[in-house]
Amino acid sequence: MKACVFIQTNHKQITGAIVAEHALRRYSNNNDKFDVQIMDSRDYPFFAAHEGDDYLRDGVKRVWLNDDLQSFTPTRFMPPRLMGYEGRAVVIDPDIFAAADIWELLSRDMHGKAIMCRMRSGPKGLVDRCMASSVMLLDCSKLTHWDAQAKFEAMFDFTQDYQPWICLKEEDRASIDFFEAQWNDFDRFTLDTKMLHTTRRKTQPWKTGLPTDWRPAERFRLFPPAAWVMRARRKLFGEYAFLGNYKQHPDKNQENFFLGLLKE
């Protein structure tokens, strides 16, 4: 079976991506059965072509900045095409680190589904029913309709909203199944964790002390006035104004796990 793990990244998250690749290889006993490929958004010119352009995100027009911490996220939808719409792929964010053999996920029975993932946590999952596309197991042969560049381009003529795309809301729900939360363990590191996802950007271990360079959400359904304040902050003072610096990770075990991988 043709199989590959794809790690998304941009220049700001390349350290995490390199460590993520090392973790995948370190914890697998089946390294001869799959490839690993880092997808750097700089390698795909359509990202740079829209620098500074307005796009649609959660019903709000935002400015596309390739320098943003998470500008890589549309690459999540590139693996099926890169695989020639054949075989299996796992796609992960650059802040996700394997603690188990990824082949266990790549080779599992998908029961005829095209996508396996988990729900997002908090209001995004409970209220918005957003699925976490940060880790996906993909049957590429069933995703021939995926064209990441076309979807990306459509965000800039406002016919495509980023949020439902990234949340998998536009996919046929019958084509999606869920895997165990341990394959995308949000900021929780236990003996059962198979892949640790350091979702709290403010405390990512390789960023401690640096100026914050990610842009917070500007839509809060549970308390809309918070969104008004965030939009006013951005428009009056700039994208990263008053966001401070990255902090040390509060969980020493997670920090030590990452630093141990980095040292290797």
CA distance 33 to 177: 24
What is the number of domains present in the chain?
2
In terms of domains, do 132 and 157 share one? yes
In terms of domains, do 203 and 218 share one? no
Is 90 exposed, middle or buried (CB count within 10 Å of its CB: 0-12, 13-18, 19+)? buried
Q: DSSP 3-state assignment of 236? A: helix
60: domain CATH number is 3.90.550.10
In terms of domains, do 175 and 220 share one? no
CA distance 30 to 78: 24
> How many whole angstroms from its chain centre is CA 258?
18
Residue closest to 71 by CA, chosen among 48, 98, 99, 97: 48
pTM: 0.84
In terms of domains, do 98 and 171 share one? yes
Which stretches in the chain have pLDDT values below 70? 123, 125-127, 201-203, 205-249
In terms of domains, do 193 and 220 share one? no
Torsion of CA 253, 7, 135, 203, to 10 degrees: 40
In terms of domains, do 106 and 224 share one? no
CA distance 100 to 41: 27
Q: Domain range holding 218?
A: 211-244
Per the structure block, which two tokens stand in for 172? 């046929």
In terms of domains, do 83 and 147 share one? yes
Residue 228: predicted pLDDT: 46
CA distance 141 to 117: 17
In terms of domains, do 204 and 81 share one? yes
In terms of domains, do 39 and 64 share one? yes
In terms of domains, do 237 and 124 share one? no
Residue 259: predicted pLDDT: 80
In terms of domains, do 37 and 51 share one? yes
CA distance 66 to 17: 17
In terms of domains, do 66 and 196 share one? yes
Backbone angles phi, psi at 190, to 5 degrees: -130, 180
> How many whole angstroms from its chain centre is CA 26?
21
CB burial of 24-35 (b: ≥16 within 10 Å; e: otherwise) equals beebbeeeeebe
